[in-house]
Structure 1
Amino acid sequence: MSDSNGIIPDNLFAALPTLREGEAFEEILRCHNVRLERIVSSHRPDPTLYDQAEDEWVCLLQGKAELWVAGQTIHLEPGAHCFIPAHTPHRVVRTSAEPPCIWLAVHIDRGSG
């Protein structure tokens, strides 16, 4: 459904993937040097240690999670968010099973624009 401007609304909670393990990443928007992504985590997150070339702001929309960021453990509940500067090692340590974790991530590439 779109309005007179051709804008089509969507919902971050719609069409969630069912996961047994790991995460599902879905790009929602890319504009210049910014990329928005919906992430859905299973209760068994991927233990990947991330060290990304771009800054990342992440917000937990649903569920409970624990992140490890550069040696610090961060506990998150719905609405909690944090900024992770480029090249800061981080990983998802724990995520809830019910409800599943839904994240909104904003990636900012400082080298483009």
Structure 2
Amino acid sequence: MINLYNYNTPKKGEIFDTLLEHKNIKIIRIISSDEVDNKLYIQDEDEWVVVVEGEAILEINDIEKKLSKGESIFIGSKVPHRVIKTQNGTVWLAISIY
């Protein structure tokens, strides 16, 4: 059994915890500090991301998107994206579809 709300916020960066990996789906819980890496992601899989707590600003194909608690976005495979800013303690779920 996994409790989504049992976590510690990192002082810097993000923590990635794989909650489930089964067949063509992977579910990852991400806990973000307010000092995130500005890494560009170009992934082979499709990804659906939902903010469970907090808020974040993503850059997808050079367009900024703000996500607040409860909001989600689909990011297709090979689409360049990065996390620009997060509120300290932001919790996300990222569902990767292979």
* Structure-2-length-normalised TM-score: 0.96
- Kept after mapping to 1: 8 A contact 2:9/2:32: no
Corresponding position of 1:41: 32
Q: Distance in 2 between matches of 1:75 and 1:18?
A: 21
Corresponding position of 1:13: 5
Identical amino acids, percent of aligned pairs: 38
Deviating above 6 A after TM superposition, structure 1's stretches of 4 or more consecutive aligned residues are: none
Structure 2: stretches of 5+ with no match in the other structure: none
Q: CA deviation at 1:57?
A: 0.3
Corresponding position of 1:105: 94
- Kept after mapping to 1: 8 A contact 2:17/2:28: yes
Higher relative contact order (CA 8 A, sep 6+): 2
Q: Distance in 1 between matches of 2:79 and 2:8?
A: 28
User: Number of paired residues?
Assistant: 98
- Superposition RMSD in Å: 0.8
Q: Larger Cα Rg: Structure 1 or Structure 2? A: 1
Structure 1: stretches of 5+ with no match in the other structure: 1-8
Q: Distance in 1 between matches of 2:5 and 2:61?
A: 30
Q: Distance in 1 between matches of 2:9 and 2:33?
A: 8
Corresponding position of 1:25: 16
**Which amino acid is 1:101 matched to?**
T
* Structure-1-length-normalised TM-score: 0.83
